[in-house]
Every structure is written in C-alpha cells, then in structure tokens.
C-alpha cells in the first residue's frame, strides 16, 4: 500500500514541475549572476489544495514519522534511549561513481530518483551510477546527487528497520546534508528542496569561479596555532595583492582536526609553513571553492530569494543547525538561519556535542548515517566513542 501511495504522490508532484524544471543546468560564468538572481526570485511554491495533495511533494506519507508530538521528542525523549534513534546526512564530498546502485531494489528509492530527474531536468540516477567522476564531482551535480541519494537511502532503512524512522527524535546534516535533514523532518517539501539545492549549487559554483580558492583538512596537536596560521596566511595574500583574502576554519570536525578554506595562495602558505604553526598534516580536498567562508557571499542572495518562495513548516523532530549546533525552533528560524550556513563555518563538532552529551552511565540512542560514504560515522568516533558504538551506516 505504501509503494502505491508514494508512487502516485511522487508523480503528481513531478507533473507540477514539468512547466518549470529546466531542461539542463544553466551555464555558469560572471554573466550569469543576474540570471541566477532572476531565477531565484521567480521560484514559486507549490501549495497543496487538498489533504491528498498535501503529501504530493514529500517522499514520505502519513503513518511513517510525521504524526508525532514534537514537544515530547524535540530534545530528549523520556524513554529508554536505546529505543530512540538519530539520523545523520552527509554533505558534498561523500559522492562516488556507483552510489545508489544498491538502493534500486527498493521501489521508493527508484521513485525518488524519478521525481528528481523531473525536477532537475537531467538523468541524475544515471550520473550517480555511471559518472563520469569529473562531472559528478562538480558542485552543480554532486550536491543534488548527494541529497537525493541520502533521502533514497531512507527507503532501505524504512524497509529493514522501520522503527528507526518512527522512533527518530533528532536529525542533522553536514553542510548540504542539513537540507536533507530538513526534508526528512517535514520542514521542506522534497521537490522544492531539491530545486533549492540546485540553485545553491549553481550559486556556489559561480562564487567559486570569482577567485581561485579551495579547502584542506588540517590535523594538528595541542600546541598548534591554527588561528595565528590563518592570520599570517591572509597577511601573505595581502602582500601579494590578492583581492578579498580569506583563510579561516570552515568545518569543525573533531578536537584535532579542522577544515580550513581560503584563497589558493593562503593554502599554499599553510602547506609551506605547517611545521612553524604546529600542524602535523595538511590534505587538499577535491573542491574548487572556499565553501563556508565570505568568498561564498555572492551565493547567499539567490539562495535566500529561493528559500523565501518555499512554504516552510515547523520541523516535526529536532533539526540541528550547522551555524551554531542548536536545534531550529520553528519555520521562521529556518528561514533566517539556513542562508547563513553558506558563509559560516560548519560547527559539526559542536552539533555532535549538543546531540549526544549524556550523563555518565546513560545509554545512547542508535544512530544511522544515511547516504554515500561513512564519513560522519568516522567523525562521531573521534567526538564521542560511546555514541559511535551504536552507530550504523545505510550507504547509498
């Protein structure tokens, strides 16, 4: 019965998109700024006209997890923690060619990809399965790919462990994954959120093209001077006439590991002087932009314009924000806070502390990482090993 209902609703939603979904992603370049803003400003919400239509843009139907009392489960359920769950969603960088192949045996997962193809205007599933890798790794493609694969992975979780969805009381996602979490929590409709991600990816790709920049993972010891290193890297750029120099922590992962983003010259400075500042290892990430820094500022406006066109609902369960690690209070909070994430660092370590801190001797909820890779599970082990003991990966 579930499959029939979700198929009908997914395809009703896709028909609504036939008039607005682009045939192909817009070409990017400095001359596309105004077009991107115009597209975001004209982004419209699909408003349901009946109770049946209410589910047309959601990948889940009544009877799964949308009929619980948020007040009782928004922070800590007053039941045995082992009977509750937390679901985490990965972000950009988790993608790989062949992802989602193991999900195709689940009808709901196939339906979600079918709707995604309608919304995006190209065959996302084929790109996930066959690549090429160079194309899948591009921001404009990998962000939708990771989001859809993550939500499709929930279909496997629903089939194999239905109680994991029913008993979920909190969710969070890393960067892009936060939008996946908001869809799961019922705050954003699936198709509108996917189009929002497409606009986000286009805007971030465009911002990346304005200056040569990147990101790197930094491992260091207790005596390292990361803040000083970033300041000196900026000074180095200023002396060489680099416009809008930037070098800062973009992702807080765990106590001895951060991701630093900035101008190409700033990252080269860090690599050349790592021992001076007590850095043990630096590894470049395969991205072409300094995400979660002010170099992404031009992406905020189109994203905000598009977000304002969506009818945001109060999250049914607690969703934690990357900006400060705290849970969203309501729909208005989502509207105001989510755009900040593009230029603010991802405070993932702080988020995990907020979600998993327990008294000594308390049990932990089960955690499921849904999406490609197992990166979030690995980070959780470094932040809270006891919580990691009951963590599982539902890989796309």
Residue 345's H or E segment, with its range, is none
φ, ψ of residue 324 to 5 degrees: the values are -135, 0
| CA angle, 186 then 124 then 60, to 5° | 25
Residue where a domain terminates, one of 284, 306, 323: 284
pLDDT digits (tens, 9 = 90+) for 109-127: 999 999 999 999 999 999 9
- Whether residue 341 lies inside any domain: the answer is yes
Tell me: pLDDT of 17 over 60: no
Give yes or no for residue 63 having a pLDDT over 50. Answer: no
Decide if 235 is inside a domain.
yes
Of 246, 264, 284, the position where a domain reaches its end is 284
Q: Which residue segment(s) compose the domain that 239 sits in?
A: 213-284
Q: Which two tokens stand for residue 315?
A: 């999250």
Instruction: Supply the pTM of this predicted model.
Output: 0.85
Q: How many domains does the chain have?
A: 2
Q: How far apart are CA 309 and CA 45, in angstroms?
A: 6
Per-residue pLDDT at 259? 98
Residues 78 and 43 in one domain: yes
Extended beta strands in the chain, E state: 85-89, 168-173, 213-220, 247-254, 257-263, 279-284, 318-320, 366-371, 391-395
Shared domain for 116 and 252, answered yes or no, is no
Distance CA 88, CA 58 (A): 19
Distances from the Cα of 22 to the Cαs of 18, 159, 189, 228, in angstroms? 9, 33, 19, 46
pLDDT at 207: 96
CA–CA dist 199, 158 (Å, integer)? 29
Catalytic residue among 74, 149, 150, 175: 175
| pLDDT tens digits along 155-197 | 999 999 999 999 999 999 999 999 999 999 999 999 999 999 9
**Contact, 212 vs 182, CB < 8 A?**
no
Asked if the structure places residue 120 within a domain, the reply is yes
Residue found by looking up tokens 């008294």 in the block: 359
Let me know whether 256 and 304 are in one domain: no
If asked whether residues 106 and 203 sit together in one domain, one would say yes
The CATH number given to whatever domain includes residue 228 is 3.30.70.250
280 and 181, same domain (yes or no)? no
User: Using one digit for the tens of pLDDT, what is the confidence trace for 28-46?
Assistant: 445 566 777 777 766 655 4
Mark whether 49 is an active-site residue: no
Of 14, 74, 292, 333, catalytic: 292
- Note the pLDDT tens digit of each residue in 65-122: 434 343 333 455 667 788 899 999 999 999 999 999 999 999 999 999 999 999 999 9
Taking the C-alpha atoms of residue 275 and residue 79, their distance in angstroms, rounded to an integer, is 49
User: Catalytic residue at 175?
Assistant: yes
């Amino acid at each position: 019965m579930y499959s029939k209902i979700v198929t009908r609703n997914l395809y009703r939603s896709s028909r609504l998109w036939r008039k607005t979904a682009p045939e192909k992603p817009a070409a990017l370049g400095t001359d596309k700024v105004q077009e991107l803003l115009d597209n975001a400003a004209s982004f419209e919400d699909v408003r349901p006209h009946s109770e049946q239509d209410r589910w047309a843009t959601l990948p889940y139907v009544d009877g799964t997890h949308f009929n619980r009392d948020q007040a009782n489960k928004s922070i800590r359920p007053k039941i045995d923690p082992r009977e509750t769950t937390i679901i985490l969603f990965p972000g950009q960088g988790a993608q790989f060619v062949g992802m989602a192949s193991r999900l195709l045996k689940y009808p709901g997962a196939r339906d979600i990809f079918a709707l995604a193809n309608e919304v995006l205007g190209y065959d996302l599933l084929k790109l996930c399965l066959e690549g090429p890798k160079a194309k899948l790794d591009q921001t404009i493609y990998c962000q939708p790919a990771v989001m859809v694969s993550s939500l499709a992975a929930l279909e496997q979780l629903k089939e194999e462990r239905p109680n994991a969805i029913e008993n979920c009381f909190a969710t969070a996602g890393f960067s892009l994954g936060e939008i996946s979490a908001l869809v799961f929590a019922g705050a954003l409709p699936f198709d509108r959120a996917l189009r929002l991600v497409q606009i986000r990816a286009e805007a971030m790709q465009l911002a990346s093209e304005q200056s040569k920049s990147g990101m790197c993972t930094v491992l260091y010891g207790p005596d390292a001077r990361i803040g000083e290193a970033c300041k000196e890297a900026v000074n180095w750029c200023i002396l060489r006439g680099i416009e809008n120099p930037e070098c800062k922590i973009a992702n807080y992962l765990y106590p001895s590991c951060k991701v630093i983003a900035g101008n190409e010259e700033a990252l080269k400075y860090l690599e050349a002087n790592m021992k001076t500042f007590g850095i043990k290892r630096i590894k470049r990430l395969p991205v072409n932009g300094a995400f979660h820094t002010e170099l992404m500022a031009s992406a905020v406006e189109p994203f905000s314009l598009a977000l304002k066109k969506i009818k945001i609902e109060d999250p049914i369960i607690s969703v934690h924000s990357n900006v400060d690690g705290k849970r969203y209070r309501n729909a208005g909070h989502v509207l105001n806070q989510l755009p900040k994430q593009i230029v603010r660092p991802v405070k993932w370590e702080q988020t995990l502390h907020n979600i998993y801190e327990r008294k000594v001797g308390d049990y932990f909820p089960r955690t499921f990482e849904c999406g490609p890779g197992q990166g979030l599970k690995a980070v959780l082990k470094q932040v809270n090993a006891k919580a990691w003991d009951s963590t599982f990966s539902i890989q796309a």
